[in-house]
């Protein structure tokens, strides 16, 4: 039998130990390196949701959790990045309602359902309907009567054709018969400025953004989505109370991973998100951002996502919404 020098034997044994150590690190306890939450926008509410969650995940996982903004193409660039990312559980995608809408509006380079693993839902924000003070209406009944009497469609601001606000307007028209024309703006600030300046009649904005202008009286508060009145504006009706019960367009927020992410990773992050949303401190942080808790685990969120995608696809078809690509 061939005899090797002791120095060679030591090198071989060291190399074997090193390889075993590397393999153990790769297959070791999750997570074993920093986690990245991709936000497919430069800012906005999905960015806020990610940044509220990141430090809590970091504390629990003992790993840095980084928020990575990858904007462009109305969220498609960052979303595709996550769809194609290494499915090892270290990359998440922060989404909102538009993720469930996009597939019904345009051809996407990914499938909004099949290419992702639902991790958890986190929160929801209601939409408030505000009108310019020149509009002769103080509640939904008066607004609907006024809108129906106009010879031309009234106008409402939206930040994205095919987005939540646009679809809220289209659904409002389908339910009430009030004809309305969406006027797109680059962002919520521009849309709000248009409403304040009287360039549009109406705007569906998140209650967090509508709160200051409602309180100042610069915009009339007409109605809010959801099943309960906003505690800050107890005199403002819900849409259901005002005779428009089907207007349930809301801004919800959640997290996804690439479709083939390990079950261990999905389940662990899911539990941490649901547990975080259950704490008084996190709920208080959500409230400051105009959000309400809406915790769902992975299985619940999957069912919810499929239902939302189906519902919005039906609305897009009924309203005959087309987007040029």
- Distance in angstroms (rounded) separating the CA atoms of residues 73 and 184: 15
Confidence of residue 322 (pLDDT cuts 50, 70, 90): confident
| The two three-digit tokens of residue 61, written as one number | 């996982």
Q: Is residue 22 part of a domain?
A: no
Evaluate if residue 99 carries a pLDDT over 90.
yes
Tell me the pTM. 0.84
Residue-number span of the structural domain to which 139 is assigned: 127-238
What is the average pLDDT across 2-30?
Answer: 46
Task: Pick 177 or 321 by higher pLDDT.
Answer: 177
Point out which residues pair with 155 in neighbouring strands.
181
Instruction: Give the total number of structural domains in the chain.
Output: 2
Evaluate if residue 45 carries a pLDDT over 50.
yes
CA dihedral 205, 140, 230, 271 (to 10 degrees): -60
Q: What are phi and psi of 128, to 5 degrees?
A: -105, 135
Same domain, 60 and 135: no
- pLDDT tens for each residue of 143-200: 999 999 999 999 999 987 888 899 999 999 999 999 999 999 988 889 999 999 999 9
Q: Is residue 295 part of a domain?
A: yes
Same domain, 220 and 81: no
The residue from 190, 210, 238 where one domain ends is 238
End-to-end CA distance of the chain: 72
| The predicted structure's pLDDT at residue 323 | 77
Q: Which spans in 153-198 are helix H?
A: 164-176, 188-196
| The predicted structure's pLDDT at residue 3 | 52
Query: For the domain that residue 216 is a member of, what is the CATH number?
Result: 3.40.190.10
250, 308 contact by CB (below 8 A): no
- Distance in angstroms (rounded) separating the CA atoms of residues 258 and 90: 10
The residue from 192, 216, 238 where one domain ends is 238
Mean of per-residue pLDDT scores for the chain? 90
Query: For the domain that residue 112 is a member of, what is the CATH number?
Result: 3.40.190.150
Q: Is residue 243 part of a domain?
A: no
- Whole-angstrom CA distances from 279 to 45, 254, 276 are 20, 17, 6
Query: In Å, how far from its chain's centre is CA 140?
Result: 27
| The predicted structure's pLDDT at residue 161 | 81
| The predicted structure's pLDDT at residue 24 | 38
| The predicted structure's pLDDT at residue 293 | 96
Q: Is residue 24 part of a domain?
A: no
DSSP-derived 3-state class of residue 87: coil
Same domain, 131 and 120: no
Evaluate if residue 263 carries a pLDDT over 90.
yes
Same domain, 154 and 230: yes
- Distance in angstroms (rounded) separating the CA atoms of residues 192 and 272: 36
DSSP characters over 34-80: -EEEEESSSSSHHHHHHHHHHHHHHHHHTS-EEEEE---GGGHHHHH
Share of the chain above pLDDT 70, in %: 91
- pLDDT tens for each residue of 232-259: 999 999 999 999 999 999 999 999 999 9
Same domain, 134 and 233: yes
Same domain, 68 and 217: no
Q: Apex CA 168: angle with CA 319 and CA 295, to 5°? A: 120
């Amino acid at each position: 039998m061939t005899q090797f020098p002791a120095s060679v034997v030591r090198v071989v044994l060291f190399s074997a130990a090193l390889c075993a150590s590397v393999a153990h690190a790769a297959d070791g306890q999750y997570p074993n390196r920093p986690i990245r939450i991709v936000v497919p926008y430069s800012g906005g509410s999905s960015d806020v949701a990610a940044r509220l969650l990141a430090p809590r995940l970091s504390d629990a996982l003992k790993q840095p959790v980084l928020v990575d903004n990858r904007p462009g193409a109305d969220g498609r660039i960052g979303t595709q990045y996550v769809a194609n990312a290494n499915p090892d559980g270290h990359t998440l995608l922060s989404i909102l309602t538009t993720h469930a809408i996009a597939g019904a509006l345009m051809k996407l380079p990914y499938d909004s359902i099949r290419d992702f693993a639902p991790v958890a839902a986190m929160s929801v924000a209601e939409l408030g309907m505000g009108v310019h003070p020149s509009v002769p209406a103080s509640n939904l009944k008066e607004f609907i009567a006024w809108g129906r009497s106009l010879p031309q469609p009234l106008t409402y601001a939206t930040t994205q054709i095919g987005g939540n606000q646009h679809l809220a307007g289209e659904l409002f028209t389908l339910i009430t018969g009030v004809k309305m024309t969406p006027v797109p703006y680059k962002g919520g600030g521009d849309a709000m400025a248009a409403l304040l300046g009287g360039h549009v009649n109406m705007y569906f904005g998140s209650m967090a953004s509508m709160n200051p202008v409602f309180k100042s009286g610069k915009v009339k508060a007409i109605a809010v989505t959801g099943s309960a009145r906003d505690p800050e504006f107890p005199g403002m009706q819900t849409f259901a109370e005002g005779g428009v019960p089907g207007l349930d367009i809301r801004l919800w927020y959640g997290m996804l991973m690439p479709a083939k992410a390990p079950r261990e990773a999905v389940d662990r992050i899911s539990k941490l998100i649901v547990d975080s949303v259950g704490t008084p401190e996190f709920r208080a942080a959500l409230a400051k951002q105009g959000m309400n808790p809406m915790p769902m685990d992975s299985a619940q969120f999957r069912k919810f996502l499929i239902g939302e995608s189906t519902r919005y696809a039906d609305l897009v078809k009924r309203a005959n919404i087309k987007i040029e690509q």
